[in-house]
Chains A and B, each alone.
Chain A
Amino acid sequence: MFAIYRKEMRSYFINPIGYIYLGVFLAFSALLCCYTTIISGSYDTASYFTLLIATFIVLIPLLTMRLFAEERKLRTEQLLLTAPVTITGMVLGKYFAALTMFAGGVLLSCINFLPIYIIGHAERVGEDSTTMHIGPVTGEIVGSVIAVLLLGAALIAVGTLISALTENQLSAAVVTVGVIAVMILLNVFNMLTDSSGQPLINSYPIRAVIDWVSVISRFSAFSNGIFDYAALLYYSSLAFVFLFLTVRVYEKRRWG
């Protein structure tokens, strides 16, 4: 498992894909952070994180598309499957490599908060900080980063499964973009209203299902500064289920 993890990490950095991912992610996050906080004159990071999650639609497939698809195409998966490694070990090795890349990007992007803290510090000078809080709320940011990491972990698991289903990287990427887009943007339907301001979808059960499927509706609690354990459990279970399915796909292929 560790051999596979190391191999995957290496391959992110000897191929351009790792650099492209990190570069694009850091550029996007810096841009978003700049627009949502500094330019709009706000210390609230909620919209920053929400928009950041929207970029995962394009960025996470970059990390996951080649995980299994390429191995299958080049027939190198035969090496892994005939080596003394369990299928679970192989899947986890690859998954954690993608997760490491993702987490690395997210943690690196925390540098974006530095200017906000500096501005906040400058504004606090001379103000009475005992009656009101000036500057970003550290607890909220930390909570949101943890939630983003877990949400990413779930989405990477989805991408991993899709990559295991095809031997074409491009189709893996396209399908992953589609699935992640649906998972993230589905609750937009709940927000749609008609001209009179009534919600477009009136039926409560449908709204509830959409809410349940949509990963981003779970995130709203973090935006409001609430550390929602239920959401964390939800993300971890999603990751577990999709990884389990990936293992099953490989088991199934052996018996096919």
Chain B
Amino acid sequence: MIKIEHLVKNYGSHCAVDDISFEVESGEIVGFLGPNGAGKSTTMNILTGYLSSTSGKASVAGVDILRDPIGAKKKIGYLPEQPPLYLDMTVEEYLNFNYELKGCKLDRASHLAEVCETVKIKDVYKKVIRTLSKGYRQRVGIAQALIGKPDVIIFDEPTVGLDPKQIIEIRNLIRGLGKDHTVILSTHILQEVQAVCDRIVIINKGKIVANEKTENISRVMDSNHRFNVKISGPQKEVLSMLKSMQGIAYADVLAERDGDAYTYTVESDYGVDIRKKLFFQLAERGWAMIGMESLGMSLEDIFLTVVEKSEESRTARVGAAGRVARRNKGKEKSAIEREVGASLYEDAQRQRTEAAKTATDAEEDEL
């Protein structure tokens, strides 16, 4: 439905969007994620014809936005970051203006009623927009984007500045829209994409650094395969037992002591839950497990990892990813899992070297 090929946008010498390409299938909800200034809004502005690209191609439903801007714009409903509302109009006047502006051919009364029903603004239909609350203004902005039943709807940070209840309502609304429309949603709020989107495109400094199905990313998050385990027992023997245990990819001791107990960092193979097994094996030998802490990942961790990764040199990344891939013995993995996995591995190694260096600092390192 949407196709972006090698899109570049320069502002003078500053490159806001640097050769990005991606596609959005019909009926998909895609989250466009990135820190502030990453190029999200620029990309959307190019896609909607507000800005022109320096080079590259963007098309909507097969219509090139540069070659046939009017045709492409007819297929897009756009809610910019700041809803473009005429504060001195009533909602009714505003929607009618948009209806005319877009040259909509649908039956006016029933179409406007339908749009109002969808975004639930019937009770403020006759009110002047200036008097509306922020949540309602946002809805009117969304209503504007829906007029004319466009194939593609683009939202630029639709929930910024709303209260939690309104955020949930707007998200539900967007998810509902995904049934009949292709939706692109830009945001820097991670939960939002996770809650709403089918696919996530992460952009940083004008480049796409990840383009993954949401479920893949969720899988990475759910797979807490890294633990800090506190075991009371002889250090060397415990460590060698951990290292030899099946399902454990990596184990090391942290220089943190609590009586005769040491803390060990354990990383299981991907997708293997070793917790029960570990418990019984330790019990068999009479070593007490007195604490276990999961070092799972939040979406923030993944996001930061991916964004940081994109700023490091490419060779370093490939090397690390290769190591992880070997460890996982050919298991199928998505790019994001490899990326994040590599980072976890590096984290662990760093922890290990630091621990060896200064025993006293280790406690802080772990925290």
A residues at B contact (CB < 8 Å): 2-4, 6-7, 10-11, 14-15, 74-86, 254-256
Contact = CB atoms under 8 A, between A and B. Distances in A.
Nearest to B85: A76
Contacts of B93: 10
A84 B74 contact: yes
Given A84-B103, A86-B70, A254-B51, A79 B82 contact: no
Interface in B81-112: 82, 84-89, 93, 97-98, 100-103
10 contacts: A4-B101, A7-B101, A75-B80, A76-B86, A78-B50, A78-B84, A79-B101, A82-B48, A83-B98, A84-B103
Contacts of A84: 70-71, 73-74, 102-103
Given A3-B101, A6-B100, A75-B82, A82 B49 contact: yes
B101 A85 contact: yes
Nearest to B48: A82
B140 to A, nearest CB: 12
Contacts, number: 67
A80 B71 CA distance: 15
A77 B49 CA distance: 12
A3 B101 CA distance: 5
Top 5 A-B pairs, shortest CB-CB distance = A3-B100, A79-B84, A76-B84, A84-B73, A82-B48
B102 A83 contact: yes
A20 B229 CA distance: 78
B78 interface: yes
A62 to B, nearest CB: 17
A15 B85 contact: no
Contacts of A15: 88
Given A11-B86, A75-B82, A82 B50 contact: yes
A223 B82 CA distance: 52
Nearest to B77: A82
B351 to A, nearest CB: 48
A254 B52 CA distance: 5
B76 interface: yes
A251 to B, nearest CB: 9
Nearest to B141: A79
A14 B97 CA distance: 15
Contacts of B71: 84
B100 A82 contact: no
A53 B98 CA distance: 37
B88 A11 contact: yes
A90 to B, nearest CB: 10
